[in-house]
Amino acid sequence: MKKLLVTGGAGFIGANFVHYWLQRYPADQVVVLDALTYAGNIANLDSVKDNKNFTFVHGNICDQSLVEALLVEHNIDTLVHFAAESHVDRSITGPDAFIETNIMGTYSLLKAVKKVWLDADTVLEGHRFHHVSTDEVYGTLSATDPAFTEDTAYAPNSPYSASKAASDHLVRAYHHTFGLNVTTSNCSNNYGPFHFPEKLIPLVITNILHNKSLPIYGDGQQIRDWLYVEDHAHGIDLVLQNGRIGENYNIGGNNEWANIDIVKTISKLVEQEFINNEELAKRFPGAIAAIEKNTESLITYVKDRPGHDRRYAIDATKTNDELGYQPKESFETGIAKTVQWYLNNEAWWQSVMDGSYQNWIAEQYS
């Protein structure tokens, strides 16, 4: 039985991971530590809030004494670290928060676990610090380059990916120097329920429902490797169960798409939903293009993201071979489920798109 501290568990992937974990390992204890930034939402954890094995703590990963107290109070043996500033565009307009949370926050967690797990009278046997990282630390690929492996040299290009790379290096150093039991996973682009609607897939779905333009950066030919979020949770589970200490594991979808094709695919899917279900036109009367079946007319090419990485692709051979990892969801089924989730959870996405978010988005596209 494990006792987990999950940082950033009220965010997109963290919340999906908590749902996954408590369903799969109902006897385990899960404590979530989350600062509830604009991206964190306590409602993401509604379905587990009454579970006796679940505790939510509102706090910051930079608060080392709070983390030490939680490790002791809950006898934590496993820390799964999701908490981060995660949106590349925000790292371009305001990198400070990324340096603070992603680098200093990770450093603060490492100091806390070292003190409690390693520096006490007896070292805590079987402890684990799992760090959730990204494929973006490897930089960018051309159309013909082979996919990123765990041996690809780090070459981060945005303040976000540079801050994640720095945190990956700190985690590695705490293993090498102090003997902390660490693992790191580097995952490709996730999608699914609870994805904050500033990211491409939920932005496109919610903009169609608001009849707003669908902004395509640059030529729209940038490529991302999309993975259904539950498959990421499963990949982390496998690393926690059988991953070798000190190793990095790539997790990906083997599912490369150009942005413009993703947007056109979602446009068609939403239109089809409106054809299949007449109620939708009544529930979303503002979704004029979807109702009139010309959703692609909302596509608008806008200025490119500065330093925009052209292509990401993950080679997950090591994780497949060593841990038996394979994504369970096909893109076809995963994206259909995701569109359905946004159609069924309007209250969720309307509530997270508050005034400050709208103002920020408006600034980006003015």
Give the CB-nearest residue to ligand DAU. Answer: 134
**Residue 196 interacts with which of ligand DAU, ligand NAD, none, CB < 5 to 8 Å by class:** ligand NAD
Q: Which of 22, 108, 32, 16 is nearest to 70 (CA)?
A: 32
3-state secondary structure at position 228: strand
Residues binding ligand NAD: number (CB under 6 A): 29
Q: Which is nearer to ligand DAU, 29 or 184 (CB)?
A: 184
Q: How many angstroms separate the CA atoms of 198 and 193, rounded?
A: 14
Q: Among 107, 160, 191, 228, which one carries the catalytic annotation? A: 160
Contact between 107 and ligand NAD by CB under 6 A: the answer reads no
Report the residue from 11, 159, 215, 243 that binds ligand NAD according to the rule CB under 6 A.
Answer: 11
Beta-strand pair 3-7/78-81: parallel
C-alpha distances in Å from residue 258, one per residue of 74, 118, 144, 148, 161:
45, 46, 14, 17, 20
Contact status, residue 156 vs residue 76, Cβ threshold 8 Å: no
We find the least distance from the C-beta atom of residue 103 to ligand NAD, in angstroms, to be 11
Among ligand DAU, ligand NAD, none, partner that 10 touches (CB below 5 to 8 angstroms by kind): ligand NAD
Q: Is 90 helix (H, G, I), strand (E, B) or coil?
A: helix
Choose the one of ligand NAD, ligand DAU, none that binds residue 203, judging by a C-beta under 5 to 8 angstroms depending on kind: ligand DAU
Q: Where are the alpha helices (DSSP H) in the chain?
A: 12-24, 64-73, 88-93, 96-98, 106-113, 159-178, 200-209, 229-242, 259-276, 279-283, 288-291, 317-323, 331-344, 346-352, 355-364
According to CB under 6 A, which one of 39, 71, 88, 263 is a site residue for ligand NAD?
39
**Which member of 5, 8, 166, 174 binds ligand NAD (CB under 6 A)?**
8
Distance CA 52, CA 30 (A): 10
Residue of 34, 77, 85, 135 with catalytic role: 135
315 vs 49: CA distance, rounded Å: 36
Verify whether residue 135 is a known catalytic residue: yes
Q: Amino acid identity of 20?
A: Y
- Specify the stretch interacting with ligand NAD by CB under 6 A; choose among 35-43, 204-212, 287-295, 331-339: 35-43
For ligand DAU, give the closer residue by CB, 78 or 189.
189
Binding to ligand NAD by CB under 6 A, coded x per residue (else -) over 164-183, reads x-------------------
Task: For the CB of residue 204, give the shortest distance to ligand DAU in the complex, in Å.
Answer: 8
- Per the document, the length of the chain is 366
Indicate the residue among 158 and 183 with the shorter CB distance to ligand DAU: 158
| 22 contributes a contact to ligand NAD by CB under 6 A | no
Q: Which is nearer to ligand NAD, 12 or 342 (CB)?
A: 12
DSSP helix/strand/coil, 132: strand
Q: How many helices (H) and strands (E) does the chain have?
A: 15, 12
At its nearest, how many Å lie between ligand NAD and the CB of residue 145? 19
Written as six digits, the tokens of 72 are 């002791």
Assess whether 136 carries a catalytic annotation: yes
| Alpha-carbon gap, residue 173 to 246, rounded angstroms | 9
Using the rule CB under 6 A, is 224 a contact of ligand NAD? no
What does the binding site for ligand NAD look like in residue numbers (CB under 6 A)? 7-8, 10-14, 34-37, 39-40, 60-62, 82-84, 86, 101, 105, 132, 134, 164, 187, 189-190, 196
List residues with catalytic annotation: 135-136, 160
